[in-house]
Chains A and B, each alone.
Chain A
Amino acid sequence: MSLQEQKRARARMGKQERRNALIAYSFLAPNFLGFAIFTLVPVICAIALSLCEWNGGDVSKLRFVGLQNYGTIFNVNKVAEKGIGYFFSRVDLGIALKNTVFYTLITVPLTIVCALALAMLLNKARGAVAYRTIFFFPYVASMVAICVCWSFMLMKDGPINQLIMGLGIPFNKSWTADSNMAIWSIILVSVWRNMGYYMVIYLAALQGVPQELLEAATVDGAGKWKQFLHVTLPQLKPTTFFVSVMMIISCFKIYDVVAIMTDGGPGRSTKMLVTYIYDEAFIKVRYGQASAISMVLLVIVLLVTILQFRSEKKFSND
């Protein structure tokens, strides 16, 4: 190939690429326009706000303060003086962070395992419609009703404790009124509510697992468990990526269950990042600090997501 031909080929390629990109953008446009105007722009404003002091009122009262909000929420002076232990035991942000991370670490794996197990058991099984509907029900019910309901269920002599006592375990504490148990009541309600939701996602994804692969595995003499490990699970990878990212994000953003059931208490035992943000923004009217806390949340979630995104790309080789 002569140099000129090569050049021409490259130009053709470039043209082709541009054309492809244009087509791709045309696919994106309808969603992106709405997304950019109604979500992206306000989010960028919020990011900018985290560097400002603004206690509401006219926008002219907005003042750029650099990283001062971050200094305040991390309580840098005190933490520098008394050590990192002080941050996690006394500073609001530290406590909220600790609670949120704990809640996420327990809830995410528990929900995924339950959801996947249910989806596997209910995929193409007899009588599955009834079961699926039942397990999805909690997600459909209105939040305020189910939270009130669960608070009552988890009372000292409520049905749940009676069940536990019935199993021979001596236990009669009121879940939501105990610092150590309160967060578990939030976890219980979250898993109960979301397990059916993620089950549905897995069910939908399972329909995309090619039958032939499973059959091939059966012919090879693989047991059900091996078939699951070596065929189904790898096929579900994109879905698991989606489920885990969405779960981590929604766990980090937990708000309504806490607001209705424990209101962050007792003490600060169920104070979460978003309950803290809500307080700062709408009770104490410090929008700058509220934004700064959300940025902390954003950075953590983004780091976790990028890590998962990388591993997803590595496995799918694209």
Chain B
Amino acid sequence: MEQIVRQKAIRQDHPVLQRVVHSVIYLLLTLLAVFTLIPFVWMVSSSLKLDREVFSYPMRWIPETFHWENYRLIWQRVPLVTYFKNTAFIAIVVTLLQTLTSSFAAYAFAKLQFPGRDTLFLAYIATIAVPWQAYMLPQFIMMRSMGLYDTLWAMVVLQAFSAFGVFLMRQFYRGIPSELCEAARLDGLSEYGIWARIMLPLSKAAIATLVIFTFVNTWNDYMGPMIYLTRDFNKTIQVGLRRFIQENSSDYHLIMAASLCSLLPVSVVFLCLQKYFIEGIATSGLKG
């Protein structure tokens, strides 16, 4: 409401200029959006072609004949349903654990004083900086000895406690004024209470972000499942997708069709959590 009023006020100042600026911005945004979408248009078009038509030259945006059967074929060629189920299981459990534990830990890093805080935090960041390829082997040997190899739980424990979530949440919590916590402490709330009643409600947007990222990253992870999951009934979508790329031939039309299908669930998650970016949070009455 206030914003509309304000915008009106400005518009009254320079009505024409304001409208021109707005139109230009929308035009640019639309152009950028079109540019962003071009590859997807190509993906959709390729997914409806025959294998040898995908890279035929000159390129055709609209396939000669629409091969809708590609979308049936992908479910028959590989057990895609199983792959979807596995991926969904891993993604959901990881997202839950990650969000919970890292928002908990992030509170300590952002708002509490304790010895070794900065060192520990740097250790967290440092592990993000080590490429996975470098410690994959020790990790694998360890996981195997724990009997987690080729189980979905391997992927869960590997991704649920990543330093990424802690880092993200810590940064958001730091944006929340410390005075709020102080006030709550004076009111007799315990630290756990502050976390549950003040931090969590205030960080809805951040949690939505973390949920989306964790979900997307887990959903699209390839290297992890490739190494840790071996039997067919344990594999995930991204590993399954690569089954269309073989040593001596690649079915790019099927890869495109299958990756478009795998895009759907993630898009749904994103759309559902969208609203938290618009809602904002009730910070009225706070001073920055």
Contacts and interface: CB of A to CB of B under 8 A. Distances in A.
The answer to whether any beta carbons of A and B sit under 8 Å apart in the complex is yes
Interface of A: 17, 20-21, 23-25, 27-28, 30-35, 38-43, 45-46, 49, 121-124, 128-129, 131-146, 148-150, 152-153, 157-159, 192, 196-197, 200-201, 203-205, 207-208, 210-213, 215, 218, 235, 238-239, 241-242, 245-246, 249, 252-253, 255-256, 273-274, 277-278, 281-282, 287, 290-291, 293-294, 297-298, 301-302, 305-306, 309, 316
Interface string B231-246: 0000001100110010
A291 B139 CA distance: 13
A246 B125 CA distance: 9
B71 interface: no
Contacts of B46: 149
B147 interface: no
Contact of A30 (B101, B195, B252, B276): B101
B130 interface: yes
B122 to A, nearest CB: 7
Residue in A49, A249, A282 whose Cβ sees the most chain B Cβ within 10 Å: A249
Majority secondary structure of chain B interface residues (helix, strand, loop or mixed):
helix
Interface in B91-106: 97, 100-102, 104-105
Contact of A45 (B135, B161, B288): B135
B186 interface: no
5 contacts: A30-B100, A124-B278, A129-B278, A245-B167, A274-B133
Interface string B132-161: 011111110011000000000000011011
Contacts of A277: 131, 133-134
B161 A149 contact: no
Contacts of A40: 123, 127
B114 A21 contact: yes
Given A39-B162, A297-B129, A208 B171 contact: no
Majority secondary structure of chain A interface residues (helix, strand, loop or mixed):
helix
Give the 8 A-B residue pairs with the shortest CB-CB distance, closest first: A34-B161, A294-B134, A45-B138, A27-B108, A145-B259, A42-B139, A31-B101, A31-B105
Contacts of A255: 131, 133
A38 B158 contact: yes
Contacts of B175: 205, 208, 235, 238-239
Contacts of A241: 171
B33 A134 contact: yes
Contacts of A43: 126-127, 130, 135
Contacts of B157: 34, 38
B178 to A, nearest CB: 8
Contacts of A157: 58
Contact of B131 (A128, A133, A245, A294): A294
B115 A242 contact: no
Interface in B242-281: 242, 245, 252, 255-256, 259-260, 262-263, 266-267, 270-271, 274, 276-281
